[in-house]
Amino acid sequence: MAGLIPFLTSKHLNVLFLTGALFIAIGIPFSLVMMSMGTIGVSVVYILEGGFKEKFRKLNHPVLKPIIALILLLLVSLLWSSDIKTGVRVIRKVIPLLVIPLVFSGISSVSKRQINLLIWAFVAATALSVLINIAVAFSSGTLTLGNPRKISLFVSHIRLSLYIVLSIVWVCYSNVHWILKVLIVSVLSMFVFLAQTFTGMILLFVISMAVLLGVLTINGSQAFKYFRLVFSTLILMAFAFLAYTTYDFYNPNFPEATPEFTENGKRYNPELENGFIENGNFLWSYVSFSELDEGFKAATGQSVWAKNKDGNESYGVLIRYLNNKGLKKNATGISQLDSADFQRILLGSPYPDLWKYRGFSKRVRGLLFHLEKSRFSKDFRGNSIAEKIVFQTAGWRAYLNSPIIGAGTGDMKEALAGYYDEVYPNLPDERRRKPHNQYISYLVLAGPLALFLLIMIFVQQWRNVPPEFVNFGKAFVIIVLVSFLGEDTIGSQAGVTFVAFFSGLLFLLKPRDESE
């Protein structure tokens, strides 16, 4: 069909739409600018194609209706918001959730093969982003810094993990050779574990179980028995691992009481002892700052009071490192460190190169440390999970202060301030973050109705997933809903564009008949 401009045929419009959509697909794991350009491009094609009467009817689509209702509710919630400017910014950020699916619902010149091409473009861009990130991480030594978040160069490492898991699902259900499948899945999965993204690991587990359950459904009831056995075993192993790690963390290996003098006759600093424990050792027992400073200077040429590469004074990292190795924090302990140990300390890592300080075990121990730290000092910074627990608690408390209509679209900061002022009064403004939970965030902004509409968007997607994309479409819904538990996924341009793009591509873009 010709559009508003006579010389633009349906083929021309098809090429223009594909170009814009490819910009979005490739830009999601790479570039906000590409995403913006692509969104503008497909919107222009939507206008040029004409046929607005038919497009207006598409507003009644079951997937679009809850999106429209949610945007309208956020607009209405401006009425009781004291900060209209911030409220408008919130709505502007979430607008792509409506614009991109609306545009895709009105495009009539795309084939199923072209939809597959767009998905493959997204998968290829995600894989390329992962390869670049891994190559740079290994070449620059990023992985030795003890801060895996820095491994992702283009987008948040958590956001990239969502793209990775969705790409893995597409590859698993595609018709490519099994060797290529194994290679792609292995490379993509490697990033999730190198970046130590808890959200990515959880999603990999959930999707793996869902895929396995789907396979077993085909193979009958006998297969279900094995599935229940395997699943139950995995859950028990996970709980056993968590129980052992927690016990090992809190069970003291040595008494806390510190003698007055070290083996060299120097005074300890017993005034520091407060019961703070990490990995079976009391952190502030057997601490002699004078001996630590002398030993550290002799080994590195630096004082323990100097800043390390993370911008923190080295004494804190050194004490935790010795503690995690089960050594005293004095001359005897520091003499048992080698050059590799000092290098890790200078890079800001408090963990020795031992098996229990690697991978998921390291994440769990890091969480326990920061929970223990917040108990003593009201400082929860330094561990993403511990931080999110605080952020989500702040969000929930803010919601309870206005449980019917919410605080207002622009008043998130003001709503959270009460909790932060009461519990963490010395916390700087830049650390008083949003809830990092999309469900709680919408409860705070506009109450239970906003949460209901948010969930209904994905309920309708689940109900309306096209047969040709049934596994991929349902996996997308699961990935987004799980990500909402630990992130404000649609609170950023990258996140909302990702959700909007696949919402439109899978559930609203109706492919033309290939025979046409």
| CB contact set of 347 (below 8 Å; sequence gap of 6+) | 144, 145, 146, 308, 309, 310
> Which of 192-201, 349-358, 401-410 shows the highest mean pLDDT?
401-410
Phi, psi for residue 469 in degrees, rounded to 5: -125, 30
Residue 446 has pLDDT above 60, yes or no: yes
Rounded Cα distance, 411 and 445, in Å? 7
Q: For helices 438-463 and 470-483, what crossing angle results, to 10°?
A: 170
What are 452-487's pLDDT values in tens digits? Answer: 999 999 999 999 999 889 889 999 999 999 999 988
To the nearest 10°, the Cα dihedral for 134, 136, 141, 142? -70
What are 20-75's pLDDT values in tens digits? Answer: 999 999 999 999 999 999 999 999 988 888 777 888 888 889 999 999 999 999 99
Centre a 10 Å sphere on the Cβ of residue 366 and count the other Cβ atoms it contains: 21
Render 243-294 in DSSP notation, one character per residue.
HHHHHHHHS-SS-S---SB-TTS-B--GGG----EETTEETTSSB-HHHHHH
pLDDT at 55: 80
Rounded Cα distance, 481 and 488, in Å? 11
- Of 380 and 94, the structure prediction assigns the larger pLDDT to 94
Residue 231 has pLDDT above 60, yes or no: yes
pLDDT at 148: 61
Residue 220's pLDDT band (cuts 50, 70, 90): low
Rounded Cα distance, 259 and 444, in Å? 52
Phi, psi for residue 253 in degrees, rounded to 5: -90, -30
- Residue 329 near residue 286, CB atoms below 8 Å: yes
Residue 1 has pLDDT above 50, yes or no: no
* Residue given tokens 């919630």 in the structure block: 77
Rounded Cα distance, 272 and 270, in Å? 5
What are 242-290's pLDDT values in tens digits? Answer: 888 888 888 777 666 677 888 888 888 876 777 788 888 888 888 888 8
Rounded Cα distance, 191 and 493, in Å? 23
pLDDT at 145: 47
Q: How many helices (H) and strands (E) does the chain have?
A: 21, 2
Residue 79's pLDDT band (cuts 50, 70, 90): very high
To the nearest 10°, the Cα dihedral for 162, 165, 166, 171? 150
